[in-house]
Structure formats: structure tokens, C-alpha cells
Structure 1
Amino acid sequence: MIPLADLGPIAQLRAGRLPRRLPQLFLGLWLYGVSVAVMVRGDLGASPWDVLHTGLIRHVPLTLGQAVIAMGLLLLLLWIPLREKPGMGTVANAIVIGLSTDVTLALLERPDALLPRVGLMLGGILLCALATAVYIGAQLGRGPRDGLMTGLHRRTGLSIRLVRTALEITVVLVGVLLGGRLGVGTVLFALTIGPITQALLPRFIVALPQRDVSADGARRPRSASAR
């Protein structure tokens, strides 16, 4: 599998292949927002973070997409003490997913029958995994929630798995207390999204040119010994 590069925000843009990577980034983010709306319309349980978002909008005058954006921007503020560096994909993630969610919700109604709702739930999970693989594969920065996870991992020394599990349990509990949409879809999402995304990711990682990139983003050709 092509490895994911660990680049700063400037280096991400200077790493090349932007005509391929930028459309892939925005396609993945837009599809992610569609997947959020599809699961919500299935009404059999939202993803862990969307349990929080659906609970939040019961108490504040926001649409679901606006709540996604607001939460993403709030999480970016938490990156400051964690010393995480946002990239283009980070900021786009915080905004595009919310816009796509609201557009899709406006176009898609909740079906009454159970079978179509099960189809929306399953389709939403699969689409979310695909969308995640697509936008991560563009290599233009982590999303606000992923950055919070990796930042806490670095600062606390706890494993990624433990930090992610603790975060998702926390947001689900808070979301439930706020009246969010918890259900079988929430559990199925939590159990399957990681393995499905991992299986799809190798197909979408954009290979970056083989050159060393300094911390300030300046490109340097690889030395003969590094080839």
C-alpha cells in the first residue's frame, strides 16, 4: 500500500498532483455529508458524532449541517493547546461536510417502511467508509475530529484505539443526554467503519512525488543514497 505522508499544511500543497488531489478531497467530503444525511433519514441510529449533532440541534436553532460545521470549528480551537496543524483538508472538512449534509437532507425524505430505512442505514455506512477513504487518500490534512484524536494521543501517550474509543463513547453519551438519534445503526457504524475504510483506502491514496519535504514545505530532491 502507498504510505500516507506526514506533511505540514504548506508541504501538503507543495507535494504535487493538486489537479488530482483537490477534486478528490472535495468529492470525498461531499460524499461524507451525503452519508450523514442518508443515515439520519434511515432513522435507525446515527454515527457516534452525529448522535451528538442530532442531540445538539434539539436545543439550539441550527440545522444538522450547521451543527456539524459549528462542532468542527469548535474542535479546531481545541487543536491549539494540542499543537495540531490544520491543512486545507482540515478547514474544508469542517465546512463542506455540513453543507452537503443540509443539501442532501433537503432532497431526501425519511421512508415509512422499515426495509428502505435499513437500506439507507447500510448504504450510509458504506458510503461513509468510501468517502473517508477518498478524502484521506487525497493527503491534504486530517479532519477536526481525527486531529483531536491524534493530538490527544500525542499529548497523553494513550493508544489511538483507546483515545478514539473514549472520544466516541463520550460524544454518544452527551448526544443521548441531549436527545440524539442512537440506535442499531450507531453500533453497526462503530463496529464496521474502521475495517471497511481500511479495506478501501489503498485504492484511493494518491502517490506523491518521491522527494523530501522540509518542515517549512520546501521541496528538495531525494539524494542518490535515498533512492
Structure 2
Amino acid sequence: MMYKAVIRIVMYIAGLVLQSLGLALMIVSDLGTGPWDGFYVGMTRHFGLSVGLWLIIFGVIFIILSSYLMKCRTDFLSFMTVFILGLCIDFWLQLISFQPVEAGVKVLIFWLGLFVTSFGISIYLQGEIALTPADQFMMALCDRFGLSLMASKFLGDAGALVFAVLLQGPIGLGTLIYTFLSGPLVQFFTPRMERAVITRIKK
């Protein structure tokens, strides 16, 4: 049992670290990010503080709000997810200090970020420890108002997108690509990671 728990924890942390790296790469590419990340970058541009710190601030707010909507106790493990993501994104953005100029380099960095993010999500899900605030909020809307997962995700992403545009966040063609391809990529990677985890646990 201890071995299984260690595997789950390692997958959870490694997945979040990779996800944050992918998000940082998409931000650096300046071709567009997901709606939530665009919102955090917009907040940084207008009000200061780091992207990761804004993620942590709003992550905490959404965790508390989700608990209220679902009328359940706050999942304190979700706070760990928020802090890991926020701190890691700031770390990667500090480490990746260059700003690409050539269009070809930007495209390459964006696609690398998209694949790394999707792969990271498929890994962190194997930990089965805690959802990200955005995913938790989606589930809360679904549970409280009887919406489908698709409708709940659309409402959450649409709200973030509106604020990201108002705050002049990095919203562009990459945002559309991320919106339509991140789900299928996660769906592609997830069953493969599940098989890998099951194989490791059975050894």
C-alpha cells in the first residue's frame, strides 16, 4: 500500500510540474494561452504581482467558492495543488528568461507547451489526489445547477476569457488551438498513463 501511495504522489507532483512548464512555455510564446492563464497574465500586466501569485490567489477563492456551491467541506489538498502550480509557473517563467522574436520559434515553443501541458495533466490525474481550482469549480457548477460538464466548463472558460480580453492578456490563435486540442490530447495521453501506473503498481 505504501508503494502505491508513493507512486500516486510522485505522479501527482511530476504532473503538476510538467503542466506548469507547458503553461509557462505557452505564455512565453505570446501566441495565446488558455483563458484562465490569459486572465492571470492580464492581472500581472495591470496590477503587478507574479502570474503564479495571481493563480494562487484566485485558486484559493475558487476552492472556497466551490466548497460553498457544493455545500461540502473544503478540500485542503486542493490548496496544495494551487501552491505547487503557482510556484512552479513562476519558477519556469524566471528560468525561461528569453522572449522569442521569430514567428517560427514562437510556434515551436507554443506547440511544445501545449503537448507538455496536456501530458502533465494526464500524469497528475493519475495521482487521484486533488483537482485544480478550475476543474473543481467546473464540478461545483455541474453539481449545484445540474449543468453538464461541457456546459460548466464552457461557462467557466468563457468568463475567464472575457476578463482575459478586458485585461489584454495573451489571447490569440493559440487560445483557440488550446481550447479545441487540449482536451483530445489529454484524452490521448491519459489511458496510456493509466496503463503505465497500473503496470508499476502491480510489480
Tell me the CA shift for residue 156 of structure 1: 0.6
User: Which residue does 2:116 correspond to in 1?
Assistant: 127
Pairwise CA distance, 1:91: 2.2
Question: Considering only aligned residues, what root-mean-square deviation do their CA atoms show, in Å?
Answer: 1.9
Matches within 5 A, 1:9-88: 17-83=4-70, 85-86=74-75, 88=77
Matched, 1:98 2:68: no
SS at match of 2:47: coil
With normalisation by structure 1, the TM-score equals 0.81
User: Could you list the per-position Cα deviations for residues 175-227 of structure 1 after superposition, in whole angstroms to 9, with x for gaps in the alignment?
Assistant: 110111111110000000001101111122345x9xxxxxxxxxxxxxxxxxx
Cα contact 1:87–1:140 (8 A) shared by 2: no
Residues 1:185 and 2:168 are matched in the alignment: no
Q: CA deviation at 1:158?
A: 1.0
What is the CA-CA distance between 1:125 and the residue it aligns to?
0.8
Letter in 2 for 1:96: I
> Matches of 2:112 and 2:141 in 1, distance apart?
31
What whole-Å deviation, never above 9, does each CA across 1:67-93 have from its counterpart, x for those lacking one? 1111111111112212355263x2222
Give the one of 168, 183, 205 matched to 2:157.
Answer: 168
Q: How many aligned positions are there?
A: 195
Which structure features the higher share of helix residues?
2
Secondary structure in 2 aligned to 1:158? Answer: coil
> Residue 151 of structure 1: CA displacement?
0.9
Question: Structure 1 residues 16, 76: CA separation in 2 closer, same or farther (over 3 Å shift)?
Answer: farther
Superposed CA offset, 1:101-135 (max 9, x none): 11111121121111111011111111111000000
Q: Following the alignment from structure 1 to structure 2, what is the Cα–Cα distance between the partners of residues 76 and 155?
A: 15
Question: Which amino acid is the alignment partner of residue 99 of structure 1?
Answer: L
Cα 1:202–1:87 shift into 2, 3 Å: farther
How much has 1:16 moved relative to structure 2? Answer: 7.2
Equivalent in 80, 104, 108 of residue 115 of structure 1: 104
Stretches of structure 1 that go unaligned for 5 or more consecutive residues are 1-13, 210-227
Which residue does 2:133 correspond to in 1? 144
Q: Is the 8 A contact 1:49 1:168 kept in 2?
A: yes
Q: Aligned in 2, Cα 1:21/1:181: closer, same or farther, shift over 3 Å?
A: same
Task: Work out the percentage of aligned pairs sharing the same amino acid.
Answer: 26
Q: TM-score, length-normalised on structure 2?
A: 0.90
Secondary structure of the residue aligned to 1:190 is helix
Q: Distance in 1 between matches of 2:2 and 2:125?
A: 15
CA–CA distance in 1 between the matches of 2:57 and 2:2?
Answer: 30
